[in-house]
Structure 1
Amino acid sequence: MNRNNIIADVLLEHNEIIPVLNRFGIRLGVGDKTILELCDEHSLNPDFILAILNVYLDENYLPEASLSLFDAESIADYFQSTVESYIHELIPNIGKHLNAFIAISAPGNEELGMLNNLFVKFKDKMTEHLQNQTLFDDDFPYELLHDLKNILIRHLSKELNQNLLYAIIFSVHSFEKDLTIHNRLREKILRPKLNELDSTGIRHLHHAITGEHAQQHPAQHAHQLTNREEEILRLIVRGYLNKEIAEKLHISHNTVLTHRKNIISKTGIKTVSGLTFYAIRRGLISM
């Protein structure tokens, strides 16, 4: 794939990269624009986008030659956006399909109740792992997804709604595949980039991904948020990604990152759930 490819043609053949583009703030309705045109429109680095997409689509693709063309902060932002999309989009999507399946098939069915409990345990474990991992750790525990899919395929009654059952399996499979590719992206893009950095650069990248710098200045936690930071906080808890916030407020992506780091530093809170609680307590948003 290259920067002159029309993105709609690529998406027609590879639907699976739609959520990847969403993480960069690119939504459907792309017309006949090329990858380069879309990158210019969204102030994105086309070399970085192409590296992500090519690694995503081709397990044998090696982006080594292009690594020096994009900065470490772009990598950090992509991986952070990916984790956010897993927690707030892909995992809840599985839950929505499962709830619909149970509601229509047999709401009081004990077998389905046990299946729902299994999913809740999986969701809690995966969410905890995603929130706590630093992206330098081992692969995501996507074997949990394989087990869930295996139960759906092998161990449920044949009388249950097959169409909705397929919808759950498809959403599980999509997440499972995305996690596998995410691990590949980490090995082919994140780790090689780390090898280019000195110890200071590695600490900077690590802080950019984990938000650990928020713990280094506890005296700032009580500081008031500025009007702009409150505005950005409202968008964060409403589910907007960094790129989307930049577009909505007509500011640069780096400015959004700076404000987001300041919000974490001042509140001492890293997760969207925690920030939502903070925003409600402070009257910044309503229930």
Structure 2
Amino acid sequence: MALIYSNTKLCDVINNEPSVIPVINRFGIYLGTGDSSIEAVCRNHGLDTEFFLTILNTFINESYFPEETLMSFSAHEIISYLIKTNNYYTKFQLPNIQRHFKLLLSSSDGNNNNLELMLRFFEGLKNDIVKRIDSDTAQWFPAIIAMENGQAPSAPLCLDDESTTIEDKLSDLKNMFIMHLSGQYDLNLCYGVIVAIITLEKDIRQNNRIRNRILLPISRSLLSQFDK
């Protein structure tokens, strides 16, 4: 999809790219946007239009990543968005996948041991995601906000990038469905689970770009000021 601008109608964006619905939800924007432009919608919701556009364009277009523009936003603004994203993972996306995964398993013919193994793999992956979110909430995000306000972090920070592990596991899970599914199973449920996994994979991949290429350098730069 082409880049979107402040005068683009939000309804056109949603029509062309329905996967943005959970992204705009994180900004407090829900369906029923009328034919308002993005600028008008942001004004009505008290949002920074430039930040909203940058996030949407980054999500929609994998080749688009305006590092200089993103670096111009405050760490607090970026963290606020990532917190909403993490909340969406834990409250909606992960429970939705797990619920439908279990329904898929219970509706299979009982001879599909692969499904049971795949569910276990997903539950391990879910734990990895939740563990990272817990670390964000308890350590990384508060430390960045504190450093941005001139306060030294209260505990040592681990700034290693481990996000590709989660991306790789999501890709592995998707490929397990494609290559190793066997036996009788509900086709509609199976399709729903695969689409949900692919959606989560894209969401996490796009947000990892913001985490790793923007927030991680910001946190390292802030931390270096206290190491002098």
How many angstroms does 1:176 deviate by?
A: 0.7
The residue aligned with 1:52 is 55
* Per-residue Cα deviation, 1:126-162 (whole angstroms, up to 9, x for no partner): 2112222437541252211112112222112142222
TM-score calculated relative to the size of structure 2 = 0.76
Whether the 8 Å CA contact 1:90–1:175 is kept in 2: the answer is: yes
Amino acid at match of 2:80: D
In structure 1, what is the equivalent of residue 170 of structure 2?
145
Aligned residue number for residue 177 of structure 1: 202
- Offset of residue 122 of structure 1: 2.0
Runs of 4+ with >6 A deviation: none
- Correspondence for 1:208: none
Greater Cα offset, 129-138 or 89-98: 129-138
Instruction: Say whether 1:87 aligns with 2:90.
Output: yes
Question: 2:147: which partner in 1?
Answer: none
- Any conservation in 1 of the 2:111–2:183 contact (CA below 8 Å)? no
Cα distance between partner residues in 2 of 1:52 and 1:178: 11
Task: Name 2:185's counterpart in structure 1.
Answer: 160
Work out which of the residue numbers 13, 17, 30 in structure 1 matches 2:16: 13
Which residue is 2:132 aligned to? 129
Give matches, 1:16-55, under 5 Å. 16-55=19-58
CA separation in 2, counterparts of 1:150 and 1:62? Answer: 27
- Structure of greater relative contact order (alpha carbons < 8 Å, 6+ residues apart): 2
Amino acid at match of 1:31: G
SS in 2 for 1:142: helix
State the Cα distance separating 1:188 from its structure 2 match.
4.9
Aligned residue in 1 for 2:211: 186
Structure 2: give runs of 5+ residues left out of the alignment.
Answer: 142-158
Residues 9-34 of structure 1: CA distance to partner in whole angstroms, max 9, x if unpaired?
01111112111111111111111111
**Which one-letter code corresponds to 1:85 in the other structure?**
Y
Aligned-partner Cα distance in 1 for 2:225–2:17: 35
What is the percent sequence identity of the aligned residues? Answer: 34
Please give the TM-score of this superposition, normalised by the length of structure 1: 0.61
Residues 1:69 and 1:112: Cα distance change in structure 2 (over 3 Å): closer
CA distance in structure 2 between the aligned counterparts of 1:116 and 1:99, rounded to whole angstroms = 8
In structure 2, give the amino acid aligned to 1:161.
D
Paired with 1:73 and 1:170, the residues of 2 have a C-alpha distance of: 32
1:71 & 1:187 partners in 2: Cα distance? 15
